Structure 1
Amino acid sequence: MSRFVDRVVLHATAGAGGNGCASVHREKFKPLGGPDGGNGGRGGSIVLVVDPGVHTLLDYHHRPHAMAKSGTQGQGSFKNGANAPDLELRVPDGTVVLDGDGEILADLVGVGTRFVAAQGGRGGLGNAALASTARKAPGFALLGEPGEEISYTLELRSLADVGLVGFPSAGKSSLVAALSAARPKIADYPFTTLVPQLGVVSTGEETFTVADVPGLIPGAADGRGLGLEFLRHVERCSVLVHVVDCATFETERDPASDIEALEVELAHYAAALGEGTQGDRLDERPRLIALNKIDIPDASDLVDIVRADLAERFGWPVFAISTASRSGLRELTFAMAERVAAARAAVPAVEPTRTVIRPHAIGDSGFTVESDRELEGGFVVRGERPQRWIRQTNFENDEAVGYLADRLARLGVEEALAKAGAVPGCPVTIGEVTFDWEPSTPAGMAALLTGRGTDVRLEDGHDRVGASDRKRARAARRAHLSDAELAAGARYSSDHEIED
């Protein structure tokens, strides 16, 4: 048996990007073939797409976790990894996407409307893309970025032109069945209708939809009963019709008090909702009053008594109807069509979506340096680019770590740390990685300048003799020789091609 679900929590995990490849071209008689590692593929994104064939969020109630595929890793011979396909999730028209704080992120109205719920990670660059004049054969590649992992709340708010509101057993389902081909469940007990029912009505040149909203009771806007679950389905209705039961057996109720009670709930809900989706508030939408069950003699007598009073009190058109004998339905239907047409004419024409370009401010470094509240004497670097570079770095590769340090230095991170009071050895946190800061630029207080082609960060721990040491040793050996001996040694070195 199918179920109607109009509110779910969706956990979306996009695919990670593939890692870049660190490869060197190898071919006979070409010992210096150069780097040929390809880039990693992009991870798949999770996209919500409005599908007219979907009418409920039931699929995501049973399967709340959605995970896209990851991109593949790059290979040698300049072979890039394959991009993962996007995972498209079909949702019904009228779905609203909310974040964890209840803020609306997207209102998916219209067939084909798309919303990227989770962005797939970018693939890492291979060493062929990292080669430069200063680093001709990189021995490393960048890692792929992980995909976004976000949780959303999806709410379905029915798209209908006319919403029928009223107390339980007021005859709303019977009215929908009488006006359209919809066949909702009808029984003689309260709360027979538990989910909204939609019906299509054709009158003259107008065709519109009518929503049978489940019964409301006083306190619905405060969460009593299932009022909040039902009230969201009248947000998009351009016309509201109060269906009043004039044959109720409850002596303490009367048509005026029923209408006033529901208007209080609509006003409370509208105040919490703010501006409506139609551009006006929910409590300002056009209203009609339908006094139902006039086929019963007592109800017919009551209608004659209260009809004029209701019209004067509320200022809305009043119609006496009977879904059993179909009396008064034609007049009510044409009144609905007239107000729906006026509401549609008042809606501004849909303009094509404009491309919005938001350039970054000139001089914006894109990062901030703050004191670390958890580590004494530590600092935290926040920014999109530094954090992304951290995720792309393989910290098991010394050359990759050196490349990261060069990128941070060019961005100005080391200079900003020095100005903030950082000293060599203090803990610095970027993203999820914490390391001891060792400045390597003149901006650092203990900067170590090295010759071209050398990197002291990669030479710690070895006893290799440097070029300057060899030059001093040679000068010391030649210091005690005479000019004749020096000339003879130079001729000997030239003839035998021997270098000191």
Structure 2
Amino acid sequence: MTTFVDRVELHVAAGSGGHGCASVHREKFKPLGGPDGGNGGRGGDVILVVDQDVTTLLDYHHSPHRKATNGAPGAGDNRSGKDGQDLILPVPDGTVVLDKQGNVLADLVGQGTTYIAAQGGRGGLGNAALASARRKAPGFALLGVPGDEGDVHLELKTVADVALVGYPSAGKSSLISVLSAAKPKIADYPFTTLVPNLGVVTAGSTVYTIADVPGLIPGASQGKGLGLEFLRHVERCSVLVHVLDTATLESDRDPVSDLDVIEAELKEYGAGLENRPRLVVLNKIDVPDGQDLADMVRPDLEERGYRVFEVSAVAHKGLKELSYALAELVAGARAAKPKDEATRIVIRPKAVDDAGFTVKREDADGEPLFRVRGEKPERWVRQTDFNNDEAVGYLADRLSRLGVEDELMKAGARHGDGVAIGPEDNAVVFDWEPTMMAGAEMLGRRGEDHRMEAPRPAAQRRRDRQAERDESQQEYDDFEPF
């Protein structure tokens, strides 16, 4: 049964915004109360949060589909809809978020670090919010925007101060079990450890974490065995410890050649592993001939500049000296790191000539097609109820004010050419009418209600009625029978 998962594909969907409400206030003795439709609620976000109590991505392996709740629609009497509830997904410290192409979206390190994996959709405005001096009684409201939806890949890179590396069955799991309170699976056959194990060690006033990285073999940096899966967990460790087996039963291996092989794999993998501080542990000196082999190879290792410690995890020999030496290296690595700075906000201003949208000609089946892409036009299209002519006219006015019609004309669009707003798989397509974009010519003064205007004086009403009678009489006088 799988108990540790360090890579998953997560399907996330944020909540959609609630629709705005088109409503007119109705109350006794107040027949013209005006628009009172409320706004729709915001859709919930999907948020990844680092939680120190979570050590695996197992939950998302079993349940990869996660969705936040939608916002509630608005209602009459200026009642706004309830916002959707954010979906909080706890992830282990050291989780990396990537897109489908493998690009890093976020590197989550540190308790409480958050990343919004999917943004909730905006709620639609009700007709009360759309009312203005020109549009006193809008007969429409904006629809809620759908929330973001897509796939993200989560990869866990173990966060620890010290990493134990070495061949399978070199004694790494036994060593971490006696240095800390960790209880990994231990056996006398290769590849006993299939997942990294973490332990906490206290040496004097220094407390540090130590990771038992599963055994590496030649070709690990090229993906042989599970090399790449294991090497990922070494990247964040500040100190490396080579655990060398002085009691190996394989005739073609010895501690020095094992060290050379692992060093070559670390260098080939990169990620700065070749420059990390490190020391060497000669393990299993309690085994017959183990101490003799350790005495033989120690001078050679020290000549290369390594600090060498002879230990026995079974007999508990040399452990105290090793733990304090590691504490010294960890303290030095921590001191060398730059101090935490205040959070910096990176501002990327738009270019001065950025119109907020693009118009590109894409002929389809020999027919001209002009595609409009941009955050605002695409959002406005999703907010429009195309069954409501007034709402369509409002969209036309917005696009015209943004400059879409002018850009279409510059791109060579003519009467009757196809225009698509949005991506290929989800676009609104229509035949372009140059005068349509102005909106007012097609629908007149949309959204106005003459009943909302102030009453005319009696004298003015009499003059208006007389003018209407005079106009009718003139039409009768000008009529010529056949």
Q: Could you tell me which residue of structure 2 aligns to residue 462 of structure 1?
A: none
Q: Greater shift after overlay, 330-339 or 86-95?
A: 330-339
Q: Could you tell me which residue of structure 1 aligns to residue 237 of structure 2?
A: 237
Q: Could you tell me which residue of structure 2 aligns to residue 92 of structure 1?
A: 92
Contact 1:45 1:119 in 2 (8 A): yes
> Is the counterpart of residue 295 in structure 1 residue 275 in structure 2?
no
1:216-235 to 2 correspondence within 5 Å? Answer: 216-235=216-235
In terms of Rg, which structure is larger?
1
Q: Could you tell me which residue of structure 2 aligns to residue 36 of structure 1?
A: 36
Contact 2:14 2:148 in 1 (8 A): yes
Q: Could you tell me which residue of structure 2 aligns to residue 323 of structure 1?
A: 313
Q: Could you tell me which residue of structure 2 aligns to residue 495 of structure 1?
A: none
Contact 2:393 2:440 in 1 (8 A): no
Residue from 394, 404, 409 that aligns with 1:413? 404
Q: Could you tell me which residue of structure 1 aligns to residue 191 of structure 2?
A: 191
Q: Could you tell me which residue of structure 2 aligns to residue 437 of structure 1?
A: 432
Distance 1:345 1:470, change over 3 A: farther
CA offset digits 1:335-375 (Å, max 9, x no partner): 21111000000111111213444444445321111002435
> Is the counterpart of residue 284 in structure 1 residue 279 in structure 2?
no
CA distance in structure 1 between the partners assigned to 2:382 and 2:443 by the alignment: 30
CA distance in structure 2 between the partners assigned to 1:220 and 1:403 by the alignment: 61
Q: Could you tell me which residue of structure 2 aligns to residue 465 of structure 1?
A: none
Contact 2:440 2:446 in 1 (8 A): no
Contact 1:440 1:448 in 2 (8 A): no
Distance 1:472 1:174, change over 3 A: same
CA distance in structure 2 between the partners assigned to 1:476 and 1:396 by the alignment: 38
Q: Could you tell me which residue of structure 2 aligns to residue 463 of structure 1?
A: none
> Is the counterpart of residue 260 in structure 1 residue 260 in structure 2?
yes
Contact 2:390 2:443 in 1 (8 A): no
1:380-399 to 2 correspondence within 5 Å? Answer: 380-399=371-390
> Is the counterpart of residue 78 in structure 1 residue 69 in structure 2?
no
CA offset digits 1:170-209 (Å, max 9, x no partner): 0001111121111211111111111111111111111111
Residue from 364, 374, 388 that aligns with 1:374? 364
1:350-369 to 2 correspondence within 5 Å? Answer: 350-362=340-352, 364-369=354-359
Q: Could you tell me which residue of structure 1 aligns to residue 107 of structure 2?
A: 107
CA distance in structure 2 between the partners assigned to 1:171 and 1:399 by the alignment: 76
Deviation of the 1:472 alpha carbon: 7.9
Deviation of the 1:143 alpha carbon: 0.4
CA distance in structure 1 between the partners assigned to 2:440 and 2:182 by the alignment: 80
Q: Could you tell me which residue of structure 1 aligns to residue 462 of structure 2?
A: none
CA offset digits 1:219-268 (Å, max 9, x no partner): 11111111111111111110000101111111111112111111121112
CA distance in structure 1 between the partners assigned to 2:229 and 2:469 by the alignment: 83
> Is the counterpart of residue 309 in structure 1 residue 300 in structure 2?
yes
Q: Could you tell me which residue of structure 1 aligns to residue 465 of structure 2?
A: none
Distance 1:14 1:454, change over 3 A: closer
Structure 2, unmatched stretches of 5+, are 448-467
Contact 2:244 2:280 in 1 (8 A): yes
Distance 1:448 1:5, change over 3 A: closer
Contact 2:72 2:83 in 1 (8 A): yes
Deviation of the 1:306 alpha carbon: 1.3
> Is the counterpart of residue 453 in structure 1 residue 460 in structure 2?
no
Secondary structure of 1:297's counterpart equals coil
CA distance in structure 1 between the partners assigned to 2:70 and 2:444 by the alignment: 40
Distance 1:77 1:218, change over 3 A: same
What is the number of residues matched between the two proteins? Answer: 454
CA distance in structure 2 between the partners assigned to 1:362 and 1:477 by the alignment: 61
Q: Could you tell me which residue of structure 2 aligns to residue 201 of structure 1?
A: 201
CA offset digits 1:382-419 (Å, max 9, x no partner): 11100010000011111111110111111111111111
CA distance in structure 2 between the partners assigned to 1:301 and 1:29 by the alignment: 105
Q: Could you tell me which residue of structure 2 aligns to residue 493 of structure 1?
A: none
Higher RCO (CA 8 Å, separation ≥ 6 residues):
2
CA distance in structure 2 between the partners assigned to 1:454 and 1:24 by the alignment: 16
Secondary structure of 1:408's counterpart equals helix
Percent identity, aligned pairs only, is 63
Distance 1:449 1:88, change over 3 A: closer
Equivalent position amino acid for 2:332 in 1: A
Equivalent position amino acid for 1:161 in 2: D
CA offset digits 1:247-304 (Å, max 9, x no partner): 111111111211111112111211xx4xxxxxxx121101111111111231211111
Deviation of the 1:476 alpha carbon: 4.5
CA distance in structure 2 between the partners assigned to 1:140 and 1:207 by the alignment: 64
Equivalent position amino acid for 2:369 in 1: G
Distance 1:478 1:453, change over 3 A: farther
CA distance in structure 1 between the partners assigned to 2:386 and 2:443 by the alignment: 25
Equivalent position amino acid for 1:453 in 2: R
Distance 1:52 1:470, change over 3 A: farther
Distance 1:352 1:286, change over 3 A: same
Equivalent position amino acid for 1:43 in 2: G
Distance 1:452 1:10, change over 3 A: closer
Distance 1:452 1:176, change over 3 A: closer
> Is the counterpart of residue 52 in structure 1 residue 47 in structure 2?
no
Distance 1:39 1:422, change over 3 A: same
Secondary structure of 1:309's counterpart equals helix
CA RMSD of aligned residues (A): 2.2
Contact 2:20 2:124 in 1 (8 A): yes
Residue from 329, 342, 350 that aligns with 1:339? 329
Q: TM-score, normalised by structure 2?
A: 0.90
Contact 2:393 2:446 in 1 (8 A): no
CA distance in structure 2 between the partners assigned to 1:239 and 1:453 by the alignment: 73
Equivalent position amino acid for 1:350 in 2: D
Q: Could you tell me which residue of structure 1 aligns to residue 153 of structure 2?
A: 153
Contact 2:279 2:307 in 1 (8 A): yes
Equivalent position amino acid for 2:333 in 1: A
CA distance in structure 2 between the partners assigned to 1:305 and 1:345 by the alignment: 35
Equivalent position amino acid for 1:336 in 2: L
